[in-house]
């Protein structure tokens, strides 16, 4: 179903959402969608405050501005924005019960959900930040096959899932802050992003930032070049979940890195654990022959040349 990852960069124009489902996969997916639709109606009935918060969020969000910013970022990374999967605020944002994820993108239904608790208790900035994160998932390269899905770099397991969340959240923070600047809620949004850095995806965001910075330095290119390549890969559907790529990470950070990285919690990571992780796993110096070869492969794959 999914293409094999290769370090050899292939020029391609692709993106959007692709449903490869056939019966009975389509039937199973429809059953799940009906369950979520029923839950949404029940939450609206039992939690009118959550419904009111969602309606207020939709009214106050300048979706045209937000979408324009996301398109700008995608274009700067070399993405064909005409194929992006745009979510409808009216038809594709739903409420899920208390205890569920505060926000989620459901590729099988192509909908974004907020938990009723998050809607009732969170600030406007926090809701926007959550929505942006999930919207980026929705606009990533998506393939579905019934209840199975690939979203961006993530095929549901392996290091691709962690890498995908790191790229998604880092991009979400950038887009959220830019939206805040243009819509006049910068202070609020800065607090929300800061809180997210403290509690969610903290190690994964730092990891992708570390790799991007090292690649730029090694290649002698403008800061941000490697990061834009990573963003493009998420939108175009580069595949990281295979032995070749995991071996690459082992060579870069050490034999135990892949398993340790997969086990990092998505939130509430104690600062002591972060320090221990950083001390244990350091990308091998690009001053060594082995380190240079690792970074050379990254440069080749991301589609630019060393200066």
pTM: 0.83
pLDDT score of 198: 61
The C-alpha atoms of residue 32 and residue 75 are separated, in whole angstroms, by 34
Residue 95: left (phi > 0), alpha (psi -120 to 50), or beta?
beta
pLDDT below 70 — which residues of the chain? 1-14, 23, 155-159, 196-200, 239-246, 248, 252, 261-288, 290-291, 294
pLDDT score of 13: 47
pLDDT score of 265: 59
pLDDT score of 306: 84
Alpha carbons within 13 A on the beta-carbon side of 105: 27
pLDDT score of 277: 63
The C-alpha atoms of residue 195 and residue 187 are separated, in whole angstroms, by 12
pLDDT score of 88: 94
Helix/strand/coil (H/E/C) assignment for every residue in the chain = CCCCCCCCCCCCCCCCEEECCCCCHHHHHHHHHHHHHHHHHHHHHHCHHHHHHHHHHHHHCCHHHHHHHHHHHHHHCCCCHHHCCCCCCCCCEEEECCCCCCEEEECCCCEEEEEHHHHHHCCHHHHHHHHHHHHHHHHCCEEEECCEEEECCECCCCHHHHHHHHHHHHHHHHHHHHHHHHHCCHHHHHHHHHHHHHHECHHHHHHHHHHHHHHHHHHCCCCCHHHHHHHHHHHHCCCCCCHHHHHHHHHHHCCCHHHHHHCCCCECCCHHHHHHHHHHCCCCCCCCHHHHHHHHHHHHHHCCCCC
pLDDT per residue as tens digits for the range 221-267: 999 999 999 999 889 877 665 566 667 677 767 777 777 766 665 55
The C-alpha atoms of residue 31 and residue 185 are separated, in whole angstroms, by 40
């Amino acid at each position: 179903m999914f293409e094999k990852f290769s370090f050899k960069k292939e020029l391609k124009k692709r993106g959007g959402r692709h449903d490869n489902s056939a019966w009975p996969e389509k039937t199973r997916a429809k059953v799940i969608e009906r369950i979520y639709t029923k839950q949404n109606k029940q939450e609206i009935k039992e939690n009118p405050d959550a419904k009111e918060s969602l309606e207020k969020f939709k009214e106050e969000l300048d979706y045209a501005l937000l979408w324009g910013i996301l398109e700008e970022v995608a274009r700067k990374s070399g993405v064909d924005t005409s194929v992006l999967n745009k979510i409808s605020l009216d038809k594709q944002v739903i409420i899920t019960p208390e205890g569920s994820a505060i926000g989620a993108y459901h590729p099988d239904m192509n909908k974004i959900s907020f938990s009723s608790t998050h809607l009732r208790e969170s600030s406007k900035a926090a809701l926007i930040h959550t929505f942006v994160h999930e919207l980026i998932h929705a606009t990533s390269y998506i393939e579905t096959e019934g209840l199975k899905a690939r979203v961006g770099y993530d095929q549901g397991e392996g290091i691709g899932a962690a890498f995908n969340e790191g790229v998604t959240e880092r991009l979400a923070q950038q887009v959220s802050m830019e939206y805040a600047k243009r819509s006049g809620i910068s202070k609020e949004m800065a607090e929300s992003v800061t809180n997210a850095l403290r509690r969610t995806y903290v190690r994964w965001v730092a990891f992708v930032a570390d790799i991007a910075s090292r690649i730029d330095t090694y290649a002698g290119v403008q800061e941000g070049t490697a990061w834009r390549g990573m963003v493009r890969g998420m939108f175009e559907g580069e595949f990281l979940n295979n032995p070749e790529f995991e071996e690459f990470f082992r060579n870069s950070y050490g034999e135990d890195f892949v398993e340790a990285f997969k086990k990092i919690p998505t939130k509430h990571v104690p600062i002591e654990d972060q320090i221990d992780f950083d001390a244990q796993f350091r990308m091998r110096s690009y001053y060594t022959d082995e380190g240079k070869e690792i970074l050379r492969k990254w440069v080749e794959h991301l589609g630019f040349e060393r200066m």
